[in-house]
Amino acid sequence: MSLNGKTAVITGSNSGIGLGIAREMAKAGADVILNSYTDNDEDHALAAEIAKEHGVKARYIAADMSKADDCRRLIEDAGVCDILVNNAGIQHVAPIEEFPTGKWDAIIAINMSSAFHTTAAALPMMRKAGWGRVVNIASAHGLTASPYKSAYVAAKHGVVGMTKVVALETAQEPITANAICPGYVLTPLVEEQIPDTMKEYDMTRDEVVKNVLLKRQPSKEFATVEQLGGTVNFLCSDSAAQITGTTISVDGGWTAL
């Protein structure tokens, strides 16, 4: 599968899932735009590294996904957006009555509203080019719920719903919109949490992974960023041209329960 000649904008992509997706897309030949809210030398170096490794064009554009104007500017500064991967997200855990208003607002803005703004800016480019793919990185929590994650669950459910609307509005065009719903994915951020969790529960690493982190994931294995990138690439392929307005779960059976 080749994405040669396509440009992909991936939000929240200087680490973790977003960076993994960007690497897999570059490996398939896509030019990539990395993004986060920081603007460090390391951010731009990541783009240069990807460009050199895969022989594609890669840039880093700083834009704060909590701000509507920044979301739209990201797409405008990219100049072209054949593939939009809305991945940016944050998390906070607390009971509803204790959930900070500021955290609620930030999670809704970054996890859901940003996808609205980037999509609104990208669709005219896709229509002009005569082809486009919108891939929203939702979550198993876009299809089910967990306690203490009210803002995250609300935002991810909202992303799934918005994905369906975009698909219907572009149904008679060569543009598709789909959501990927990962379960737990092994990222550096998750890896960093394991030692503290081992101490908290007095468990081995394997026990923490299987009985705490992957408690709801029947496969008892993490999804990988490479698998998510491969799923994005598939949705951008000709084989997926009639897949639109749906969710693809990459969750080890979580939502089958």
| Straight-line distance from the first to the last Cα atom of the chain, in angstroms, rounded to the nearest whole number | 33
Domains of the chain listed by start with CATH number:
7-185+223-256 (3.40.50.720), 186-221 (no CATH)
CA angle 247, 172, 231 (to 5 degrees): 30
Q: What is the pLDDT of residue 122?
A: 99
Q: What is the pLDDT of residue 206?
A: 96
Supply φ then ψ for residue 99, to 5 degrees: -70, 120
Q: What is the pLDDT of residue 184?
A: 96
CB 225 within 8 A of CB 17: yes
Q: From CA 22, how far away is CA 229, in angstroms rounded?
A: 7
- Whether 201 is a known active-site residue: answer no
Q: What is the pLDDT of residue 1?
A: 72
Q: What is the pLDDT of residue 193?
A: 87
* DSSP one-letter string for the chain: ---TT-EEEESS-SSHHHHHHHHHHHHTT-EEEEEES---HHHHHHHHHHHHHHTS-EEEEE--TTSHHHHHHHHHHH---SEEEE---------GGG--HHHHHHHHIIIIIHHHHHHHHHHHHHHHHT-EEEEEE--GGGTS--TT-HHHHHHHHHHHHHHHHHHHHTTTTTEEEEEEEE--B--HHHHHHHHHHHHHHT--HHHHIIIIITTT-TT-S-B-HHHHHHHHHHHTSGGGTT--S-EEEESTTGGG-
Question: Nearest-CA neighbor of 179 among 200, 198, 195, 164?
Answer: 164
Q: What is the pLDDT of residue 20?
A: 98
This prediction has a pTM of 0.97
Catalytic residue, from 60, 152, 184, 201: name it.
152
pLDDT profile of the chain (257 residues), mean per 10: 95 98 98 98 98 98 98 98 98 96 98 98 98 98 97 98 99 98 93 92 96 96 98 98 98 97
